[in-house]
Structure 1
């Protein structure tokens, strides 16, 4: 099958679309990716890619469209979104060949689906939007008010884009509620949660040294509410046996480092961003993983990809989070959650975790739930069935 994947982000940027594209090639599909110039998360286009417009990466044909780097401000981020939508739409017009399916691996922004719509009209083939972020709700986490004109405009654009699809794939079950009840989108929808990379399935258990090490790994943005972890750490800084390890980067990292410094949190360590190949080292440090999101109804529909990685590692998850993720952790019986942004109750849950005796049972439950619901084999079997249909 000849598949055109549209996504603003691709290798060397670290997103699951990379591994999915490479695996589809291994399975015999002809895969082309239309993407932008790498600049995530630091916001600056990498020098070595400024002049590159075509690559072959692990058998995937990669076409890169010009864009403005994300930068550090809302203005440059807006220009980043618009520049990719325009330049990649023009690039579609130059693409030659035939495609059987057009898939938009839709992260933020939803405008990355615009070149997919152009491709649908040009090649006269079905357009699938694989939704991993909800729009317009994603802009709310950036401070945009839902009662303002900007939100209303983005909502209208988002609805028009989703309505151009022939089918929508959902990374989270609760996305269907949002599309049906709020955006009034009437399209065929299929639930297709992602899997974790293979390297996360071989994390060794941590030897008991009397301390409890908690690891957060991933993007440190406004939506992730990592400050909730820091405030919980402040509640527990009298405990000299509980430590917080934060691995990643993002728009809120500086703010979180300032909070650590102002609160004099000696129990928190920031490690910055690292290649995915290095992540098993940090995962092996964990007695349990942490996950947080902002207290926002629509954002709570999201199931962050780190949940699958945490479960694949076979360790408990402690969260200050609502919605889909809280439900998954409860169904798996692999950890404990409290309401989003409730740092005091998160601190209480962490202390509760340090005192329980059945940590091994939580580990097993986490791994078992992953194998039964999110494994790579299950994902690609489901994907193949959907593609055939």
Structure 2
């Protein structure tokens, strides 16, 4: 069976690789049609197309919120589906956003009714953008409708978290819709009680980009309260356009800042996380997100979280003892609860976080879920 995966963003690389490897392991011929433009670096991928990996030359853009970016996405979708027409897949696996892929995939399905169409909703545009209620403005209605009208032709709709199914429940009515969580590689890492976790200070980690969807008011508020209980060290692993603004705010409260910069090496991150008590998983309340890649990275390394992400992540925190849910109204209360935990209790949370990763977000869990969604016989949709 021939399967074609269409994907625009290098930021989804880990998920795409897992999907590709899964289908190949089942004996399918698998092709990836991918943009040659890297979203984060705003530069081109220095690779050539291969027999099964087809790079589409894509218009560059420099600003994430711009007409240039929308035009780039639409042009990519148009050119990508010219390649899909050449390949003639039995299963078309369309990764969304950009929403223009949903439109082109839906159009393709109408012309090729025997092709099974799978939508993998990794993000929701414009719902996840932190600009209030913009969905009623004409440009955003058109943008959203690319996705929403395309849904009607999908044979299977996969969402990366349960929250997205709640947001789109009217559109998804009577559709075969399933959740497939983000995943990361399995690593040999056990949490040890003798890992020298300090008792006289708080070490709090932040991993990832510090940008316009991060709550730059809540993070300093949390660190301020913790610092009034014990000296608090804030470990930053990452970068972003709002990084200096966040650091300036935190410095007002005499919190010690340790800026590690960008760290990609597993062992380096492990060394930092091993001495931290919690990782911050904080975004603006207006952002429509049920799960973050940073939280999965924390869990992979056995780090509990201080969390304000709704839906899926809130549920995991409440039911698996992997940290604390927090909001702007309960910072003092949660900080006090954090201060009352002894080292053994924190170590237990660390082990619980690792166990949660293994159960829901590991490669093994991902492959098991793919087996539930697709028949082991030649990638057929169940």
Per the normalisation by structure 1, the TM-score is 0.81
> Match for residue 10 of structure 2?
10
Distance change (3 Å), C-alpha of 1:4 and 1:375: same
- Moved >6 Å (runs of 4+): none
1:170 aligns with 2:155: no
1:242 aligns with 2:237: no
What is the DSSP-based 3-state SS (H/G/I as helix, E as strand, rest coil) of the residue aligned with 1:80? Answer: helix
> Match for residue 321 of structure 1?
309
Do 1:248 and 1:272's aligned partners in 2 also have CA atoms closer than 8 Å? Answer: yes
Give, in whole Å, the separation in 2 of the partners of 1:284 and 1:93: 48
Distance change (3 Å), C-alpha of 1:269 and 1:153: farther
> Match for residue 372 of structure 2?
385
Give, in whole Å, the separation in 2 of the partners of 1:333 and 1:356: 12
> Match for residue 57 of structure 2?
66
Which ranges of structure 2 fall in alignment gaps of 5 or more residues?
376-381
> Match for residue 378 of structure 2?
none
- Show CA shifts across 1:243-272 (max 9, x none): 1222223454354345346x3754233433
Do 1:92 and 1:118's aligned partners in 2 also have CA atoms closer than 8 Å? Answer: no
Do 1:93 and 1:122's aligned partners in 2 also have CA atoms closer than 8 Å? Answer: no
Give, in whole Å, the separation in 2 of the partners of 1:234 and 1:312: 27
The Cα shift of 1:122 comes to 5.6
> Match for residue 54 of structure 1?
49
> Match for residue 176 of structure 2?
188
Distance change (3 Å), C-alpha of 1:87 and 1:372: closer
User: With CA pairs under 8 Å and 6+ residues apart, which has the higher RCO, 1 or 2?
Assistant: 2
Distance change (3 Å), C-alpha of 1:312 and 1:8: same
Matched positions, count: 368
The Cα shift of 1:379 comes to 1.9
The Cα shift of 1:330 comes to 0.8
Give, in whole Å, the separation in 2 of the partners of 1:167 and 1:144: 29
The Cα shift of 1:185 comes to 4.8
Give, in whole Å, the separation in 1 of the partners of 2:254 and 2:23: 45
Give, in whole Å, the separation in 1 of the partners of 2:203 and 2:330: 18
> Match for residue 91 of structure 1?
80
Q: 1:131 aligns with which of 104, 111, 121?
A: 121
What is the DSSP-based 3-state SS (H/G/I as helix, E as strand, rest coil) of the residue aligned with 1:129? Answer: strand
Instruction: Please provide the CA RMSD for this pair.
Output: 3.1
The Cα shift of 1:118 comes to 4.8
What is the DSSP-based 3-state SS (H/G/I as helix, E as strand, rest coil) of the residue aligned with 1:174? Answer: helix
The Cα shift of 1:128 comes to 0.9
> Match for residue 209 of structure 1?
198
- Show CA shifts across 1:54-73 (max 9, x none): 146xxxx2212222334235
The Cα shift of 1:216 comes to 2.0
Distance change (3 Å), C-alpha of 1:219 and 1:166: farther
Give, in whole Å, the separation in 2 of the partners of 1:272 and 1:121: 48
Q: 1:287 aligns with which of 277, 291, 296?
A: 277
Distance change (3 Å), C-alpha of 1:171 and 1:280: same
Equivalences for residues 299-314 of structure 1 within 5 A: 299-300=288-289, 302-314=290-302
What is the DSSP-based 3-state SS (H/G/I as helix, E as strand, rest coil) of the residue aligned with 2:128? Answer: helix
What is the DSSP-based 3-state SS (H/G/I as helix, E as strand, rest coil) of the residue aligned with 1:137? Answer: coil
The Cα shift of 1:169 comes to 0.8
